[in-house]
Amino acid sequence: MELVMYSRSTGCPFVTLAKRVLDDYGIPYREIYIDQNAEAKRRVMEWTGFLSVPTLVVAEPGDDLPVSEPAFLERGRSPRGLDRGSMITEPGAEELSRWLLKHGFIAELAHDG
């Protein structure tokens, strides 16, 4: 599996946090900028109801879509930090670490995560 992060090219504290966690674990990921890709922007809006970044998905290598349909999100509900199976949006460090563990990107949680 491959990790794909829907992001944006301008600064965002949630994106910075996610990149730090991924870098700390040494996890490779592919970044797609929603402010430079209209289709990616449409997808994130459809998936989350907002232009929420980062939205991270577990994808087949080379694919941009989640391997499975993300868990339902009630319209208008914030996606922040929710583990939706193949997707997580705007996670905190611990939420992201646990999601990465669940999907086999890491073997164990770091002491501070």
Residue spans of the domains in the chain: they are 2-102
Q: Model confidence at 113, in pLDDT bands (50, 70, 90)?
A: very low
* pLDDT mean over 59-73: 97
Closest to 23 measured CA to CA, from 97, 82, 98, 102: 97
Q: How far is the C-alpha of 96 from the C-alpha of 90, rounded, in Å?
A: 9
Structure confidence at residue 112 (pLDDT): 53
In sequence order, the β-bridge partners of residue 2 are 59
Dihedral angle, C-alpha 38, 43, 45, 46, nearest 10 °:
140
49: which 2 tokens?
Answer: 């109801």
Give the CATH number of domain 2-102; options: 1.10.530.10, 3.30.1490.100, 3.40.30.10, 3.40.190.150: 3.40.30.10
* pLDDT mean over 65-91: 97
Closest to 93 measured CA to CA, from 60, 59, 54: 54
Structure confidence at residue 68 (pLDDT): 97
Looking at every residue in the chain, the average pLDDT score rounds to: 96
Which pTM was predicted?
0.94
Q: How far is the C-alpha of 29 from the C-alpha of 33, rounded, in Å?
A: 13
